[in-house]
Amino acid sequence: MTSGSSGKVPALDEACAKRDPARARARLLQAAVDEFSTHGHSGARTERIAQRAGINIRMLYHYYGSKDDLYVTVLETVLAELRHDELQIDANALPPTEGLLCIFDFVADHFAAHPKLRKLLAFENLNEARYLARSGRIPKMASPVLGLIRKLLSRGAATGEVRAGVDALHLYVVMVSLSYYGRAHAFTLSRIFNRDLHKAAWQREHRKLTRAMLAAFLAPEG
């Protein structure tokens, strides 16, 4: 989306934006992801978003309505990408434990590859999820993921491969916690313990440990 060494996006004039609204919307949305993940909702400025996208600010309001509506769209977009990754397994094609660990792998890989998602979630937690609450899409996105986990848990419990009585939502929150915390809080933890948690080697070892913890928990009792 950038050109040359200046890092500036070529301007897309209003007439071009109207002729190619999909392109204009995509540029604005990417610029909004960058802006909101850097400054949060309160610190973000629509003028900077339009400038970053190289599009007249009038077109931003034409396509997205308001700053609040654009922010909700950003949240929906980044969470939809996470859900897409999580649902890339066939619950019937893998043994239950392997399928559940695959979901964990998708979650962990996604958080590792998308630091802007981690920042957006941190900002929205500070907002007490008031903008997430405005979205009707986001709760619907979560249902298939929990349904997939429930199916794997049920099949695993029936065959004795997975411990019985595990709640799907509790398990998903555990997966996200194990995937998220060591990256989202790496700056503060690195200072507290005087060790660089951003290093790839540390992250690999932590991933290995958390995956083993999850596998041990899923194993049947007794």
CA atoms within 13 A on the CB side of 162: 26
Q: Evaluate whether 95 touches 158 at the Cβ level (below 8 Å).
A: no
pLDDT value, residue 86 = 82
End-to-end distance of the chain based on CA atoms, in angstroms?
55
Domains of the chain in start order, with CATH, are 14-65 (1.10.10.60), 71-218 (1.10.357.10)
Cβ pair 203, 183 in contact under 8 A: yes
pLDDT in tens, 121-167: 999 999 999 999 999 999 998 889 999 999 999 999 999 999 999 99
pLDDT at 87: 85
What gap in Å lies between CA 62 and CA 21, rounded to an integer? 10
Nearest-angstrom CA–CA distance, 23 and 18: 10
**Tokens 């915390």 label which residue?**
181
Which residues, listed in sequence order, are joined to residue 55 by a DSSP beta bridge?
A: 12
Residue 136 pLDDT = 92
For residue 42, give both structure tokens. Answer: 């309160």
Residues of the chain with pLDDT under 70: 1-19
